[in-house]
Amino acid sequence: MLSGIPIPKDAVRPPETVLVNITPQETRVAVLEENNICELHIERNSGHSLVGNIYLGVVRRVLPGMQSAFIDIGLERAAFLHIVDVLEQRRNPEETQRIEHMLFEGQSVLVQVIKDPINTKGARLSTQISLAGRFLVHLPQEDHIGISQRIEDDAERNSLRERLTNLLPEDACHGYIIRTNAENATDEQLLSDIHYLTKVWEHIQEQAKTQPPETLLYQDLPLSLRVLRDMFSLDTQKILVDSTENHRRMTRFAEQYVHGALGKIELFKGERPLFETHNVEQEISRALQPRVNLNFGSYLIIESTEAMTTIDVNTGGFVGARNFDETIFRTNLEACHTIARELRLRNLGGIIIIDFIDMAQEAHREAVLQELAKALAFDRTRVTLNGFTSLGLVELTRKRSRENLSQILCEPCPSCQGRGRLKTPQTICYEIQREIVREARRYDVQSFRILAAPNVIDLFLDEESQSLAMLIDFIGKPISLAVETAYTQEQYDIVLL
């Protein structure tokens, strides 16, 4: 059983610069810390994130064995609702509820997306509705006031709870979570959030009464405005936007909801594109590669699968320290900050296993864990650091809420079907010969023709020419060869003539 390593909550964040690149097709947001890109958010017009959207769904299947249900909300794949995300279960976590006692097929139910569809998995839903504002999260089905865990000072927590309680109407029966941004908010700003979120919920309720099932009732803000609502903080030095229209839109939103951001939103007018000027395009290309170079020749290898992400730390050519143990220790320490940055940049989630270079000294292992914990403290996404396993690997988990960078920008290779490997031309030659033997036994034909990629045909004419001649003698039929330049290395056809 691994013991969790606490992630520091009082880490001083470095100054941030936010770049907002907007085209008719997509919006891209890059967050730079000390001129290093550490976060990248992409929202395409053809595939908006669904997280936060509220739908009037229809129950299609209830699965008592899995304590879950499939809900149709009008998407290509049915969405998934587990018992732990049903409001009644969340209200009474100690009591065991049964989903088949709460839902039935054909029932209309108000649901909110909490995870986007990823790969073959449909969206994940919750029946507990929450509406995010600038300073508050509105919980219309609850009646308590919660405080962000990032606000640790007890006096500050009590003060904020008391302020919000005094601002709410006496007959208020809705709940709220006070966000970290509320620490410096005025009463007027909190009241503005309350009025805005109350109106949004009233509109959703009205829509739910009149709209047919599978209807989208509420959609979260576009990425360009979520930057101001969710990412802007006192650490944000400036927000550069390269679209005049969206600069005006963001400024109007800031005037109404995020006054502190007003003087920091700037229209970028450089001769070169915004992302190119700040070297972001090059960093995006690098983030799609498995290898990440560190200083002095050491490097990381990052490989993601559907089950988990593995990160391997290698010294490479780094031999600069006084002794071998010191070289390993310094490499692992440097890797900690790069790993934390790459997790944010690539948006890697789920189970993450790090194979640091083996350290003989327990003090070095503990120092590396503490350094990794400090580096992870800047992550906006929830991270749990579990420490070293019995195999000497570091295990951590990072909340997965949307597709990672590779899933957004890439697709499986059509040549290798996503395996990352191709069969060799020699392997394909032998496959073709075996198939010809099978076909010769099944059909009485005059001859065979092999259609294949150039390098496969070249192999048949050179190194495998003798085996091809032996095959012709064995089946007693002529075999001709034809090059298909459009074929990939693994593609071929055998034509019966």
Q: What's the whole-number mean pLDDT along residues 125-144?
A: 90
pLDDT digits (tens, 9 = 90+) for 222-271: 999 989 888 888 889 999 999 999 999 999 988 887 878 889 999 999 88
Q: What's the whole-number mean pLDDT along residues 334-351?
A: 95
Q: How confident is the model at residue 496 (pLDDT cuts 50, 70, 90)?
A: very high
Residue 320 has pLDDT above 60, yes or no: no
Q: What CATH number should be reported for the domain whose range is 425-496?
A: 3.40.1260.20
Q: State the DSSP string of 430-497.
A: HHHHHHHHHHHHH---S-EEEEE-HHHHHHHHTTTHHHHHHHHHHHTS-EEEEE-TTS-TT-EEEEE-
Q: Which residues pair with 145 in a beta bridge?
A: 176
Q: Which residues pair with 134 in a beta bridge?
A: none
Residue 410 has pLDDT above 50, yes or no: yes
Q: How far apart are CA 244 and CA 259, in angstroms?
A: 20
> Per-domain residue ranges for the chain?
16-45+222-280, 53-185+208-218, 289-409, 425-496
pLDDT digits (tens, 9 = 90+) for 60-112: 999 999 999 999 998 888 999 999 999 888 888 788 889 999 999 999 999 99
Residue 432 has pLDDT above 50, yes or no: yes
What's the pLDDT score for residue 473?
94
What's the pLDDT score for residue 350?
92
Residue 47 has pLDDT above 90, yes or no: no
Residue 180 has pLDDT above 90, yes or no: no
Q: Comparing 53-185+208-218 with 425-496, is the CATH topology the same?
A: no
What's the pLDDT score for residue 151?
79
In this prediction the pTM is: 0.76
- What count of Cα atoms within 13 Å lies in the side-chain half-sphere of residue 152? 5
pLDDT digits (tens, 9 = 90+) for 193-206: 888 888 889 999 99
What's the pLDDT score for residue 1?
41
The C-alpha angle with vertex 98 and arms to 93 and 101, in degrees rounded to 5, equals: 125
Q: Is 309 exposed, middle or buried (0-12, 13-18, 19+ CB in 10 A)?
A: buried
Residue 10 has pLDDT above 80, yes or no: no
Residue 58 has pLDDT above 60, yes or no: yes
| Assigned superfamily of 53-185+208-218 | Nucleic acid-binding proteins (2.40.50.140)
Q: Does residue 408 or residue 94 have the better pLDDT?
A: 408
**Options 2.40.128, 1.10.490, 3.40.630, 2.60.120; which CATH number does 289-409 get?**
3.40.630
Residue 275: strand, helix, or coil: helix
pLDDT digits (tens, 9 = 90+) for 352-406: 999 999 998 999 999 999 999 999 998 888 899 999 999 999 999 998 877 899 9
Tokens of 241: 């936007």
Amino acid identity, position 483: V
pLDDT digits (tens, 9 = 90+) for 434-492: 999 999 999 999 999 999 999 999 999 999 999 999 999 999 999 999 999 999 999 99
What's the pLDDT score for residue 39?
94
Q: Does residue 471 or residue 319 have the better pLDDT?
A: 471
pLDDT digits (tens, 9 = 90+) for 141-160: 888 889 987 777 788 888 88
Q: Which fold has domain 16-45+222-280?
A: Nucleotidyltransferase; domain 5 (3.30.420)
What's the pLDDT score for residue 45?
81
pLDDT digits (tens, 9 = 90+) for 258-307: 878 889 999 999 889 999 999 999 999 999 999 999 987 889 999 998 88
What's the pLDDT score for residue 3?
56
